[in-house]
Amino acid sequence: MDIFLTNTATRKKERFTPLDADNVRMYVCGPTVYDRAHLGNARPAIVFDVLARLLRHVYGTDHVTYVRNFTDVDDKINARAAAAGRSIGDITDETIGWYLDDMAAVGVQEPDHMPRATQYIPQMVAMIAGLIDSGHAYAAEGHVLFAVDSYKNYGALSGRSVDDMIAGARVEVAPYKRNPMDFVLWKPSSADIPGWDSPWGRGRPGWHIECSAMALELLGESFDIHGGGNDLMFPHHENEIAQSCCAHPDGAFAKVWLHNEMLQVEGKKMSKSLGNFFTVRDLLDQGVPGEVIRFVMLSTHYRKPMDWTEKKREEAEKTLRKWRGLVAGIEAGPVPTAVLSALVDDLNTSGALAELHRLAANGEAAALKAGAELLGLLDDDLGGWDDTQVDLSKWTERLITVRAAAMQSKDFSELDRLKTALTGAGIEVRMSKTGVELVPAAGFDPARLEDLT
């Protein structure tokens, strides 16, 4: 089945044709590791995790190479380490551990490679030296800068001209820059911050060069897909293209560029000043299952702004509880064609979820489980659902008994009291002519059952 993806570089939805179907290659920009991953950081991790799962489903598990990096050399990291009185290595190791734990909790599988920038400094130095030799970069006052006017296609990805960028951008004004848009490939390091020896003195790489060097080393001069949030399109991805294509003019760097839109909270941009900023760990610690976070993220197409709301969270939790009840003890069948058709159409996860709703409504449990698993849902390893194992049978039996007595006596006060108490404990009470069903709902608190009499 063909996959169609919207390529930022061409502004078109195109049939995806890998350079080598036996080795489909994808690079995604990962986090700068100085603090906990906030909710917005989870969106690209989840989006491209679904794409990696789809690529493996279509081309075979062993025929996909997925790389997602860690930026572990950065001024924010330096500042955090200095403020905490800890080593930079301690900060980055701890933060990477947090990130992997939090992403695992929302069902994100680890990529094939997770390179750290500090592991590829020699490759960056070699690439920078080559750019100087070819006239695309220059050394000045301990810095090395890429000469933007040496690359005629600069701005093509983001659709900006260099003149417009100079007029509208807030760029660092420095006397050693030949052009205001020239960007740093290497910069000097003082004695108290990380630095490596180089032909230009002790220093550290600029942000953009790391991804070019790591993608080259792990995926080659040309690869299939480069992904990330649309906030990275300019300048990060624009600069990656310029330096990579100039360093290796015979390669194409990334063939397809994919960008996910940003996240909002209750219709507003997430920010600490608005009090709506929270991390993935904040939600997990509040008892929100990671699977619920993933479901809400996937309910919006990756190219549209995603609005996290409490209502969506509650609806997702209710839906997943119901689905988990339907597939309990069921083996997954083949992935339903309709689910796959939605995903191959520019990763239409919201369309795939709509199909899962239909399967659930029709009681097609094996198909539901297969389709959900391709999306990273209803996985037995996903935690946060321990309360679904609570035995509600005694309450179901008691409700049946109380209802039967009420039907005889026409006194429904005790039945109403019990229903109200169960609802207050976060249980959805479903009563019909054929029987009684109790289903844990959003906010279910098993501890409150102990107080019921």
Which residues sit opposite 430 in a β-bridge? 437
Inter-helix orientation angle 39-59/365-374, to 10°: 110
The pLDDT score that the predictor gives to residue 438 is: 82
When pLDDT is cut at 50, 70 and 90, the band that residue 343 belongs to is very high
- The enclosing domain of 220 has a CATH number of 3.40.50.620
Tell me: do 304 and 191 sit in the same domain.
no
What is the rounded (10 degree) CA torsion for 437, 440, 441, 444?
A: 140
When pLDDT is cut at 50, 70 and 90, the band that residue 425 belongs to is confident
Tell me: do 84 and 174 sit in the same domain.
yes
Which among 330, 351, 386 is the end of a domain? 386
Tell me: do 406 and 375 sit in the same domain.
no
Non-local CB neighbours of 221 within 8 Å, separated by 6+ positions:
244, 248, 250, 251, 252, 253
What is the distance between the alpha carbons of residues 122 and 89, in angstroms, rounded to a whole number? 19
Strand arrangement, sheet containing 268-269: 268-269, 263-265, 306-308
> Within a 10 A sphere around the Cβ of 272, how many other Cβ atoms?
9
Tell me: do 409 and 354 sit in the same domain.
no
| pLDDT beyond 70 at 389 | no
Name the least confident of 12-21, 117-126, 173-182.
Answer: 173-182
Which among 204, 231, 260 is the end of a domain? 260
The pLDDT score that the predictor gives to residue 20 is: 98
Residues 45, 91 contacting (CB under 8 angstroms): no
The pLDDT score that the predictor gives to residue 442 is: 60
When pLDDT is cut at 50, 70 and 90, the band that residue 54 belongs to is very high
pLDDT digits (tens, 9 = 90+) for 191-206: 989 999 999 999 999 9
The pLDDT score that the predictor gives to residue 275 is: 82
Tell me: do 186 and 222 sit in the same domain.
yes
Tell me: do 415 and 377 sit in the same domain.
no
pLDDT digits (tens, 9 = 90+) for 164-183: 666 555 556 688 899 989 99
Tell me: do 252 and 279 sit in the same domain.
no
pLDDT digits (tens, 9 = 90+) for 84-112: 999 999 999 999 999 999 999 999 999 99
Tell me: do 186 and 327 sit in the same domain.
no
How far is the first Cα of the chain from the last one, in angstroms, to the nearest whole number?
57
Tell me: do 107 and 132 sit in the same domain.
yes
pLDDT digits (tens, 9 = 90+) for 357-375: 999 999 999 999 999 999 9
Residues 148, 182 contacting (CB under 8 angstroms): yes
What share of the chain has pLDDT > 70, as a percent?
94
Tell me: do 237 and 271 sit in the same domain.
no
The pLDDT score that the predictor gives to residue 335 is: 98
When pLDDT is cut at 50, 70 and 90, the band that residue 38 belongs to is very high
Tell me: do 148 and 254 sit in the same domain.
yes
The pLDDT score that the predictor gives to residue 144 is: 98
Tell me: do 38 and 19 sit in the same domain.
yes
pLDDT digits (tens, 9 = 90+) for 251-301: 999 999 999 999 999 999 888 888 888 999 999 998 899 999 999 999 999
Question: Considering its fold, how many domains does the chain have in total?
Answer: 3
The pLDDT score that the predictor gives to residue 384 is: 62
pLDDT digits (tens, 9 = 90+) for 127-149: 999 999 999 999 999 999 999 99
Average pLDDT over residues 319-339: 93
The pLDDT score that the predictor gives to residue 387 is: 52
What share of the chain has pLDDT > 90, as a percent?
76
Q: How many CA atoms lie within 13 A of 36 on its CB side?
A: 11
Question: Which domain does 432 fall in, by range?
Answer: 390-451
| pLDDT beyond 80 at 309 | yes
Which among 386, 404, 439 is the end of a domain? 386
